[in-house]
Structure 1
Amino acid sequence: MRVDLHNHTIYCNHASGSMDEYIQKALKCGIDIFGFSCHAPMNFDSKYRMDCATLPIYLKKIKDLQRLYSPLPTQYIDKIHNKIEILSALEVDYILGREDLILKQVLEAKVDYLIGSVHFLDEWGFDNPEFIGEWAKRGIKNTWEHYLDSLQNMAKTQYFQIVGHIDLPKIFGKRMPRDLETKMEETLQILYDNNMVIEINAAGLRKAIQEQYPSRNILEKIKEIGLDITLGSDAHSIEQIGYGYDVCINLIKDIGFDKIAIFRNKEKILLNI
């Protein structure tokens, strides 16, 4: 079963290609279950996300595609396109101390799942090349500590089903210091205790780090703790759909994973890989 649950759309203002084209590419990649998870509205960093007025348009477009392509038996299906299950989702930014920025409209949206991601520490977009100079001011260890604190508190809100790109701060090659491994393990345990699923995100293979999120050693700890996993391209363009999929699948199989999680109406379902 080929699953890809993290994909963006033109509605987030920094992706290209139509949603129809994304589905066509997913079909060519042999993907069975495909999720749209565009950046959710928020009264912050509006340049890189949809606004509230666009949210119903985005969700309606997904419903239209579901009717066209859904593999489930229904009178609305065009049988020619009966090949792929399409899920609806949002990627929601979590900023420690600014939980008020998460909109009720987003939390109550009729979607299959929410991906909780940390891209910001205070107002610093640490994964944005435009602000890479801030790393020198804050330091690698302090940044990672702040990031892990953010993940822990994000999990405790219980707002989200999936945690996105769990070791994202390594994006520019600034790996987590070894003396924070215990804190990472504590973070994984908190994620487990709050029923979150870990995303294996292929975007890192396209970045300077040239490695999926998370790294193998973290994946091994994820397996040991018993967290469930899922897969996502984090595609922002048509050519990125399915990128690195086989690399990620082979890695998780080698570690010993044999199930992958999806969500329907925020209910977790485990499928054979």
Structure 2
Amino acid sequence: MIVDLHNHTTLCNHAEGSIEEYIEQAITNKTKYYGFSDHAPMKFDPKYRMDFSDMEKYEHNVLNAKEKYKDKIEILLGYEVDYLDGYMDERVLNSDVDYLIGSVHFIDKWGFDNPEFIGKYEEKDIDEIWQKYFDSIEDMAKSKLFDIVGHLDLIKVFKFLPNKPILEIAKKALLAIKEADMVIELNASGFRKPIAEAYPSLELLKYAYELNIPITFASDAHSPEQVGFSSQKLVEMAKSVGYKECAVFKNRKRQLIEF
């Protein structure tokens, strides 16, 4: 895939490999636009994100790499920001970046995609938590703080699926994404999880296409060998629905390119 905008660095405390190793793999993959969007700091769940004191280092390292590799690939700078009411920070939201990815990793402060807390699914009503998740996605879109929706249906990660039709649960969130003029990423990390499929599902992607919601692509790599993993599946999936263009961002401004 020629665009790959969601990737991490060791500063998030749960990734490995150097920035250069990620970029070299992207070059091997013939990627033209490669973005780092590491987990932004916030005063919650510090174990799985960079500290505020690391922001300058992170941005400096990515921009240095951008200059170093400018003749081989275009490097873009972003953050993946957790949408969690009361914890988002202006230092991140107003940072000088190319794009911001908005993601939901918490339902009532429960890290539902973290294997450490998988046991809590037994205590929950599955339809209720799916609805709460997509209500948060809807609220995130309505905030209009972000450019890209991260892994739209992450709630399916452990293959605990709802009884209600998924599109029925997710429809209002997708309409809010359309209204906010956001982009949805096709994220390959789901292929590495129990659900064993991309985020979003084909069903949700088809509805996004009906709504004319733009897409982009993402490895969501936490190690260099994950860069480009299952990328051809993502491209084929997008084309099967009807997509021919994907989004890239520079200074928070979107442009669409053919893929």
Tell me if the contact between 1:27 and 1:84 (Cα under 8 Å) persists in the aligned partners.
Answer: yes
Alignment TM-score, normalising by the size of structure 1: 0.93
TM-superposed CA distance for 1:180, in Å, is 4.6
Tell me if the contact between 2:79 and 2:99 (Cα under 8 Å) persists in the aligned partners.
Answer: yes
Spell out, residue by residue over 1:72-109, the C-alpha distance to the aligned partner (whole angstroms, 9 max, x if none). xxxxxxxxxx11000000000012xx2x2111100111
State the SS of the aligned residue for 2:157.
helix
Q: Distance in 1 between matches of 2:243 and 2:135?
A: 27
Q: Distance in 1 between matches of 2:161 and 2:235?
A: 23
The question of 1:54 aligning with 2:43 is answered no
Tell me if the contact between 2:167 and 2:203 (Cα under 8 Å) persists in the aligned partners.
Answer: no
2:75 matched residue in structure 1:
86
Alignment TM-score, normalising by the size of structure 2: 0.98
Q: Distance in 2 between matches of 1:251 and 1:123?
A: 33
Q: Distance in 2 between matches of 1:140 and 1:176?
A: 6
Q: Distance in 1 between matches of 2:181 and 2:158?
A: 29
Q: Distance in 2 between matches of 1:179 and 1:255?
A: 20
Q: Distance in 2 between matches of 1:252 and 1:41?
A: 32
State the SS of the aligned residue for 2:81.
strand
State the SS of the aligned residue for 2:102.
strand
Spell out, residue by residue over 1:45-81, the C-alpha distance to the aligned partner (whole angstroms, 9 max, x if none). 00000011100100011110111112xxxxxxxxxxx
The question of 1:15 aligning with 2:4 is answered no
The question of 1:255 aligning with 2:244 is answered no
Identity %: 45
State the SS of the aligned residue for 1:133.
helix
TM-superposed CA distance for 1:181, in Å, is 2.2
CA RMSD of aligned residues (A): 1.0
Spell out, residue by residue over 1:203-222, the C-alpha distance to the aligned partner (whole angstroms, 9 max, x if none). 00011111000110111001
The question of 1:230 aligning with 2:207 is answered no
Q: Distance in 2 between matches of 1:133 and 1:48?
A: 19
- Summarize the alignment of residues 1-273 of structure 1 with structure 2, pairs less than 5 Å apart: 2-70=2-70, 82-95=71-84, 98=85, 100-273=86-259
Tell me if the contact between 1:4 and 1:34 (Cα under 8 Å) persists in the aligned partners.
Answer: yes
What code does the residue aligned with 2:231 have?
A: Y
State the SS of the aligned residue for 2:53.
coil
Unaligned stretches of 5+ residues in structure 1: 71-81
Q: Distance in 1 between matches of 2:2 and 2:170?
A: 29
What code does the residue aligned with 1:56 have?
A: E
Larger Rg belongs to: 1
What code does the residue aligned with 1:167 have?
A: D
Unaligned stretches of 5+ residues in structure 2: none
Q: Distance in 1 between matches of 2:74 and 2:161?
A: 36
How many residues get paired?
259
Tell me if the contact between 1:26 and 1:242 (Cα under 8 Å) persists in the aligned partners.
Answer: yes
What code does the residue aligned with 2:90 have?
A: K
TM-superposed CA distance for 1:179, in Å, is 3.6
State the SS of the aligned residue for 1:120.
coil
Tell me if the contact between 1:145 and 1:180 (Cα under 8 Å) persists in the aligned partners.
Answer: no
- Following TM superposition, where does structure 1 have runs of at least 4 consecutive aligned residues deviating by more than 6 angstroms? none
